[in-house]
Structure 1
Amino acid sequence: MAVDKQPNRLIHESSPYLLQHAYNPVDWYPWGEEALQKAKQEDKPIIVSIGYAACHWCHVMEHQSFENPKVAAIMNKHFVCVKVDREERPDVDAVYMDAVQAMGLQGGWPLNVILNPEAQPFYGGTYFQPQQWMRLLQNVAEAYESNRAELDSSAAQFVQHLRQSELDKYGLKQGTLQVREEDFRLMFYNFSTHFDKKHGGLSPAPKFPMPTNYLFLLRYHHHTRDEQALEHLHRTLREMAYGGIYDQVGGGFARYSVDTEWLVPHFEKMLYDNGQLISLYAEAYQATHETLYHDVVYETIGFVERELMSREGGFYSSLDADSEGEEGRFYTFTKDELHKILGTEEPLFSKYYHATAAGNFEHGRNILHRRMSDEEFARENELELDVLQDMVQTWKEKLLKVRAKRVRPGLDDKILTSWNALMLKGLADAYYVFGNKRFLDLALQNAHFILDKLRQGDKLYRNYKKGHATIDGFLEDYALLAQAFIRLYEVTFDEQWVQEAKDLTDYTLANFFDKAEGMFYFTDKNAERLIARKKEVFDNVIPSSNSVTALNLHILGLYFGEERYTELSDKMLARMKDLVVKEPSHLSNWATLYFHKLTPTAEVAIVGPKAPAMRAELSSFYLPNMIQAGSLEGGSKLPLLQDRTAIQGKTTFYVCHNHTCLLPVHSAAAALEQLQEKPPQDKFPAL
């Protein structure tokens, strides 16, 4: 960096994305009152430019436009310029993304929106080439001088749109929850119409992993035994694990694939993807015992621990797609490089990972990928399976050593509560399925880090870096952390965690809940007021904060005997139900909640000296519609464990459905037999 460059105001920020722009000639402000007041005082329009540290095209636009003194001069003369990290401020991003889409434009990042001094949007877009950007800015500046009233009128109309409730927009009415088998099957049918039956996932490209979609498929198959659901699940998880979207050398998944075959990824690696995919592959292994899924979980946790974990126990946000000025350079190899590393084994390696002299990516480089199982490859090449697998492990170790010497992709080292919660749950899920104590140790270390660094009293913060947490938490942070703590309780039987989940949920009821609509706002009632206060209901790569909250309420209602939780969860799902049936691929976490309500959720209490060991025995079986509570000696304060004792001093299982219990038993096998009986169905009195 040239020494004569002067920093702008972003130099004082903690976000790596904002710091990337701290030496731009653009007079950037962070989002906040200072910038908004300046716009009002000088009567200038505002440019809000939104992106994130791992965003490839954000970097391109910065280099082409924001580092260009000519472009910066236009921006500084006519506008107040504001940079936003969408990962730190998803509330700001959601408002202005909605505005751009209301303008009839395709959303994405970088997101560039132009506002009047009242922060009301009147124009926007995504990536602009430099000449295109300069022309746009000149035109807007001229229009702002000559047609101000027209622009303000347009902005007012967009604000009116932004303030419309999501529930009103889609005609989602309050009603009584009725769950029906035929509606559940219709969800799957509507979902299946989008299947890519050749490569897995949903058509067309680009393809995102969308973990909640496949968690729903697992549960659907468990309930219906529909082989089409299981076949598509296997195809998708296998093709993703074989493809270039998965780092074949170091483990972990890239954000998405640009093609239908999962071959060419957009190479950034996000914590939120990998945390959820650990959960998905662990659950898929529990249901199917596919060895590939075991390996993906172990390798992905290895990647996260190695490359995204802070010394304090938090997890960093992401790794960039680019290094040395090229996308994917860190992860790809030329045929010559492979020969130097592997010598005489290179031809077999290249056959296994489909590397060629011409390459399958830019600059003659190869994205390593597979097309068949180890069993098939060993047969085809007349190798013993264990010999092949030993060779593959050695190849990975050699390539990892070479990669360790390369220029690394940029690290976004901010720590976000909700993304850490997804990773925490992934680790707890992996421990539940595989029993590896290292996974539990990492989960507990992270849980204590979050409580120590990201909570103050009963409030959560969104972000943490270098000892500071500065942004109030959003519903996403509370909901996903509560979900993770519930899971952590189930694998430890330490009641601190389920009580923490209840406390977080009670805080959201007091500070995020809209009684009029029966849903939760994304922002705290005490948070900064934006031009619109949004509710998040659609499940994306990260499930919607309202669907996670509704699922938490369902489970906590069972643990604590809180009918108000259960009733609210039912009401939330009732309002969403018709849309979930029609568009399950956009509401798959809601569809999973529907699965939990289709038959009563099993309540399993385990009491006695061997409770943790007995819980581990039960976890060998795939039982997705079950909650577990446990105590070594009784005396628990948890309502689900009240009056439950170890009969005759022997560890005892109590299996209940809908507050009705079967006879106590003393083995996991006997409890499993009870769990596999059909539960009572009289669950839904009118609300």
Structure 2
Amino acid sequence: MNELHKESSPYLFQHANNPIHWKAFSQSTLEKAKIENKLLIISIGYSTCHWCHVMEHESFNDLDVAKIMNTHFTSIKVDREEQPDIDSFYMKAVQLMTKQGGWPLNVVCLPDGKPIWGGTYFNKNTWIESLNQLHSLYKNNPGQVYDFAEKLHDGISLISKAPNSLEKAATFDLDKIIDIWKRSFDWEHGGYSKAPKFMMPNNLYYLQKLGVSTDDSTLLDYVDLTLTKLVYGGIFDTIHGGFFRYSVDFKWHISHFEKMLYDNAQLVSLYADAYKRTKSSLYEECILKTLQFIEDEWNNSEGGYFCALDADSLTPQHQLKEGAYYVWTKDELETILSEDFEIFSEIFNINTFGHWENGEYVFIQKEPLEKIALKNHLEIEDLRVKKQQWEQLLKQHRDKRIKPLLDDKSLTAWNAMMAIAYIDSYTALNIESHLAKSLTILTFIEEKLWSEETGLFHTYKNGTAKISGYLDDYAWYINALLRAYEITLNEKFLIRAKNITDHTLDNFLDEKQGFFTYSMHKDTVFVPSIEIEDNVIPSPNSVMVHNLHKLGILFENQYYTNLCEKITDTVLQQVDYPSYYSNWLLMSLYLSEHSELGIVGQDSLQHIQAITSNFIAHSFVVGSNKPSNIPYFKNKYIENQTLYYFCKNKSCFQPETKIDLLDIHL
């Protein structure tokens, strides 16, 4: 029978009423499949995946499909957000077999879990035909199936390994890499010259740092173009705030309408950094709206945040449709906005430019408000007030619609990103409550997702934490603790970051390969995976080297420093497509500049807060406001005096009493 009603994952629970005899992934399920000698079907997705919903409706709710799956296979459902290691393993298998991947991810495996066939979305007829053929092949020629499974498993093992450091180090030519990267820039709409378009926050975060460090105005122009077009586009929910996951077109207009916590957390940090550089009111508005959306929709009332909102929602006719909650007809807008509709439609393009399909519109701006105000002989402040009133009015009407499904689990890594986002918004906008919220998230992780016996858990819901934490959970939590220390100077965060780093080294570092594995799996089927490519989220190995860099400086720990530098150097030798290595390139920028500013004194916290409210391109700024045993600060505290210690390229200047006396660029 279907056992998914026992699960807490919203995605698994969505499938609890399917006629398929679904089981959750477990060793006991694999053992039973071996005894029964049945092939496994492992179907992987997540709660906000549109095509996962489509395949469920077409196939997994179909009795003919259920008969085949229940008779000849053991069927397993996996939430990729709950068990990303399993998803990664089978994604590699499908990519090797088909040269592409995505979700839903559907794989047929031997009873021990080794994959033999797979793909993404299948329509009902193709799915039935494929399953019948695979069952027949396994029944009549099992030797051929086992032989292919072994070869495929060897291939997965090969691509899961860490890169090797070249005997002769390759020349790392940053100028050449950036020149190649610039060729992919879309200079009309921002982002890259392709569709679908993902926002890739870490790419922009790095390019902004590099642009300031090298005085490259081209990079900064590109970053500002992209950030502006994102807020103008339909990919940003101007009514309530928050970004959707990606755009299906070149101009950021029509989104895949799911909203994810990890996207929005990283984008808050990105816009906060950009605000420090530009003081743009548009960026400030984006930060505040996004945070308000997150508080309204994802606060779990225990100090943490939920995962996501679905792309699909119900129409007034109770039909499930992608984007139904967010789109508008012209008639609706004319009725709601009345005499303001004309100027509203000019701002948000209720015309051919803003039309989506079937008479429905998604809001998109082409011009800044200042330009539209000038053309219409309006005061800009009056128009800004009008815009806010329209958005509030439309939100009131939209709130009456049926909301998209909420994924109400809380993941450690994503919550840590959210803590960082609140710290970054605090340093940019000086809103005290943002700092308080970041510290509340850290308390939530410590109290709900940490065990002194076993370490971090990965996921939390309804009072229960489960699944051992993965490398990204540890890496982002350590990173958030370090950021909390940097802005509060409370050493408890720093000590905790070091202790958890040591725990991570003990449990995740593969000494032989010199990299961190993604999980602590010791299973023979699941090859320990080493993830190094940065994608929409930076790779956990790249986040860990940033942590090791900071901890190496503060604790004067040469092992941390050497490991950071060795891993980074090895990866930089592999860089081909720079967009997949932006967090490594950021680490390279920090290592090449290698500057840190330490502020020691009773009032050092206020000096730290003043400095970090400005854009910092490549320096590590830390402080201590009391006598400390942290090696970096030991014996540096002098009563009734504040001293600035600046070091660059492992050479330190004479401490000064005023930062103005130091000729430095942070």
TM-score range, shorter chain: over 0.9
Listed one character per residue, the Cα deviations across residues 172-197 of structure 1 (whole Å, up to 9, x for unaligned) are 325698996xx222221121121112
Q: CA deviation at 1:611?
A: 1.9
1:302 aligns with 2:288: no
1:612 to 597, 601, 605: 605
CA distance in 2, matches of 1:641, 1:629: 10
Partner of 1:539: 534
2:412 to 386, 398, 417: 417
CA distance in 2, matches of 1:326, 1:90: 27
Partner of 1:47: 41
Given residue 644 of structure 1, which amino acid in structure 2 is its aligned partner? K
Task: Note if contact 1:604-1:655 (Cα within 8 Å) is conserved in structure 2.
Answer: yes
Deviates more, 1:377-386 or 1:659-668: 659-668
1:27-42 to 2 correspondence within 5 Å? Answer: 27-42=21-36
1:373 aligns with 2:363: no
Deviates more, 1:56-65 or 1:369-378: 369-378
In 2 relative to 1, CA 321–165 (structure 1 residues): closer, same or farther, beyond 3 Å? closer
Task: Note if contact 2:23-2:77 (Cα within 8 Å) is conserved in structure 1.
Answer: yes
Task: Note if contact 2:204-2:223 (Cα within 8 Å) is conserved in structure 1.
Answer: yes
2:460 to 454, 457, 464: 464
Partner of 1:252: 242
Partner of 1:675: 664
CA distance in 2, matches of 1:197, 1:166: 36
Q: CA deviation at 1:666?
A: 3.4
Q: CA deviation at 1:378?
A: 1.2
CA distance in 2, matches of 1:121, 1:192: 39
Q: Secondary structure at the match of 2:116?
A: strand
Q: CA deviation at 1:333?
A: 1.1
Q: CA deviation at 1:491?
A: 1.3
Listed one character per residue, the Cα deviations across residues 1-38 of structure 1 (whole Å, up to 9, x for unaligned) are xxxxxx72110111000000001000000000222112
CA distance in 2, matches of 1:456, 1:49: 31
Partner of 1:203: 193
Q: Secondary structure at the match of 1:461?
A: strand
Task: Note if contact 1:175-1:574 (Cα within 8 Å) is conserved in structure 2.
Answer: no
CA distance in 1, matches of 2:394, 2:599: 48
Partner of 1:496: 492
Alignment gaps of 5+ in structure 1: 1-6, 678-687
CA distance in 2, matches of 1:263, 1:120: 41
Listed one character per residue, the Cα deviations across residues 133-166 of structure 1 (whole Å, up to 9, x for unaligned) are 1111111111111221111111111100111154
1:637 aligns with 2:629: yes
Q: Secondary structure at the match of 1:440?
A: helix
Listed one character per residue, the Cα deviations across residues 225-252 of structure 1 (whole Å, up to 9, x for unaligned) are 1121111111111111110111011111
**Structure 1-normalised TM-score?**
0.93
Q: Secondary structure at the match of 1:674?
A: coil
Q: CA deviation at 1:545?
A: 0.8
Partner of 2:317: none
CA distance in 1, matches of 2:193, 2:79: 30
Task: Note if contact 1:454-1:463 (Cα within 8 Å) is conserved in structure 2.
Answer: yes
1:443-458 to 2 correspondence within 5 Å? Answer: 443-457=438-452
CA distance in 2, matches of 1:576, 1:488: 28
Partner of 1:398: 393
Listed one character per residue, the Cα deviations across residues 597-650 of structure 1 (whole Å, up to 9, x for unaligned) are 111132322322x22221122123222322233233x22232222112246x13
Given residue 394 of structure 1, which amino acid in structure 2 is its aligned partner? Q
Given residue 524 of structure 1, which amino acid in structure 2 is its aligned partner? M
Task: Note if contact 2:211-2:217 (Cα within 8 Å) is conserved in structure 1.
Answer: yes
Q: Secondary structure at the match of 1:534?
A: coil
Task: Note if contact 1:604-1:626 (Cα within 8 Å) is conserved in structure 2.
Answer: no
CA distance in 2, matches of 1:167, 1:63: 38
Partner of 1:685: none
Q: Secondary structure at the match of 2:122?
A: coil
CA distance in 2, matches of 1:630, 1:604: 5
2:574 to 579, 583, 593: 579
1:130 aligns with 2:130: no
**Structure 2-normalised TM-score?**
0.96
Q: Secondary structure at the match of 1:99?
A: helix
Listed one character per residue, the Cα deviations across residues 303-361 of structure 1 (whole Å, up to 9, x for unaligned) are 11111111101110000011101111111111111122222112211111112499712
Task: Note if contact 1:318-1:412 (Cα within 8 Å) is conserved in structure 2.
Answer: yes
Task: Note if contact 2:313-2:321 (Cα within 8 Å) is conserved in structure 1.
Answer: yes
Q: Secondary structure at the match of 2:198?
A: coil
Partner of 1:17: 11
Q: CA deviation at 1:289?
A: 2.1
Listed one character per residue, the Cα deviations across residues 504-549 of structure 1 (whole Å, up to 9, x for unaligned) are 2111110111111110110126x65543111101111111011111
1:50-61 to 2 correspondence within 5 Å? Answer: 50-61=44-55
CA distance in 2, matches of 1:358, 1:595: 41
Given residue 274 of structure 2, which amino acid in structure 1 is its aligned partner? A
Deviates more, 1:496-505 or 1:148-157: 496-505
1:592 to 564, 567, 586: 586
1:307-318 to 2 correspondence within 5 Å? Answer: 307-318=297-308
In 2 relative to 1, CA 253–281 (structure 1 residues): closer, same or farther, beyond 3 Å? same
Partner of 2:653: 662
CA distance in 1, matches of 2:283, 2:658: 29
1:431 aligns with 2:412: no
1:266 aligns with 2:262: no
Partner of 1:683: none
Deviates more, 1:140-149 or 1:411-420: 140-149
1:183-194 to 2 correspondence within 5 Å? Answer: 183-194=173-184
In angstroms, what is the RMSD of aligned CA positions? 1.8
Partner of 1:4: none
Q: Secondary structure at the match of 2:361?
A: coil
Task: Note if contact 1:522-1:533 (Cα within 8 Å) is conserved in structure 2.
Answer: yes
Partner of 1:71: 65
1:213 aligns with 2:203: yes
CA distance in 1, matches of 2:161, 2:213: 30
1:281 aligns with 2:271: yes
CA distance in 2, matches of 1:331, 1:234: 26
In 2 relative to 1, CA 290–178 (structure 1 residues): closer, same or farther, beyond 3 Å? farther
CA distance in 2, matches of 1:67, 1:107: 24
CA distance in 1, matches of 2:658, 2:241: 38
Q: CA deviation at 1:125?
A: 0.5
CA distance in 1, matches of 2:632, 2:258: 43
CA distance in 2, matches of 1:234, 1:158: 45
In 2 relative to 1, CA 172–166 (structure 1 residues): closer, same or farther, beyond 3 Å? farther
In 2 relative to 1, CA 217–584 (structure 1 residues): closer, same or farther, beyond 3 Å? same
Task: Note if contact 1:250-1:303 (Cα within 8 Å) is conserved in structure 2.
Answer: yes
1:603 aligns with 2:597: yes
Q: Secondary structure at the match of 2:465?
A: coil
Partner of 1:319: 309
1:626 aligns with 2:615: no
In 2 relative to 1, CA 419–176 (structure 1 residues): closer, same or farther, beyond 3 Å? farther
In 2 relative to 1, CA 289–669 (structure 1 residues): closer, same or farther, beyond 3 Å? farther
Given residue 74 of structure 1, which amino acid in structure 2 is its aligned partner? I
CA distance in 1, matches of 2:169, 2:620: 22
Given residue 478 of structure 1, which amino acid in structure 2 is its aligned partner? Y
CA distance in 1, matches of 2:478, 2:53: 35
Q: CA deviation at 1:436?
A: 0.7
CA distance in 1, matches of 2:302, 2:88: 31
Given residue 227 of structure 1, which amino acid in structure 2 is its aligned partner? S
